[in-house]
Amino acid sequence: MLGIDKGVFFIFLSTLFSAITGVATKILGDDMTALEIVFFRNFFGLILILITLKHTPSTAIGGKPHLLLLRGVFGFIAVLLFFYTITSIPLGEAITLNKTSPLFIAILAFFVLNEKLSKKGIFALLLGFLGVALITKPLGLSIGLDHFLGLLGGFLAAAAYTTIRRIKDIYDSRDIVLSFMVVGAVAPILLFISAYFYVPQSLEFIISPFTMPTSYKVWGLLFVVGITATISQWLLTVAFTNTNAGIVGIVSYTSIPFAIFFGTLLGDEIPDIFVFIGIGLIVFSGLMVKNAKA
């Protein structure tokens, strides 16, 4: 019971910081590419994690570096696709598509981790999806390339989360986040270099040469993205090390109402009654799963 409560608490905080990251990313999309935003996000995060590790070194036993690397690769591609959809489609749609990850988590956890949800947990999951449907339908969600990439990002995010569950007992949560930050900082550099020589036409929309920011506003927003995203990732990792992957995945739906709330502050239209009902169902389902561990 205590572990589930801690996991739910940490995921609520994680989704709040994630929503703030999404807002800053949406604004940055007018001045930078998704790959550049991902690079700076992870660069700032890498510095922050290294500082904490220097202050309090990790004592984890380790032993599975290939899984640690795999978590980093999955996480990097998932975030790149997520940031791209944030800059190319409405924020509410991008967040909603990313939050298909709980469905993929349930499937992966079943096959990889042998985890199951109780009937109450399944009912909560259905309520969560109903809430998502009520929020999405008024937004006029349509499927195109950008939306497909958002769904792919949701799947890869689920793969990254599931990998966390495989290594949570042998690595410090900061080590796990660090693997993501290292890959997320090094991979963009390699892609930036390759962009000066050759980029397949089909990938030009997401891979381009690097341009150094010059605006104080952009640097400030990049700092916000780096800090809030790192805190969100750390909280997410802690959440997945404290409770069932499916339960944490369902509670992560709360990022949708957070995103809509912040979007409204930025000038989006006030949600109608269907959206408010959807938000209520999502929050209610998140509270239900606290006691839904199989």
pLDDT digits (tens, 9 = 90+) for 80-113: 999 898 888 777 778 877 877 766 776 677 677 7
Return the pLDDT at 144: 66
Cβ 37 vs Cβ 85: under 8 Å: no
Return the pLDDT at 185: 92
Return the pLDDT at 190: 93
- pTM of this structure: 0.77
User: From CA 189, how far away is CA 156, in angstroms rounded?
Assistant: 21
Q: What is the CA radius of gyration of the chain?
A: 18
Cβ 44 vs Cβ 226: under 8 Å: yes
Give mean pLDDT, residues 123-152. 71
Return the pLDDT at 169: 80
User: From CA 86, how far away is CA 247, in angstroms rounded?
Assistant: 25
| Token pair belonging to 178 | 């660090």
- Which amino acid is it at 220? G
Place of tokens 């958002």: 150
Place of tokens 């749609």: 93
Return the pLDDT at 12: 83
Give mean pLDDT, residues 241-250. 66
Q: How far is CA 225 from the centre of its chain?
A: 13
Domain spans, the chain = 2-291
Return the pLDDT at 148: 81
Return the pLDDT at 226: 85
Give mean pLDDT, residues 50-65. 83
Return the pLDDT at 192: 93
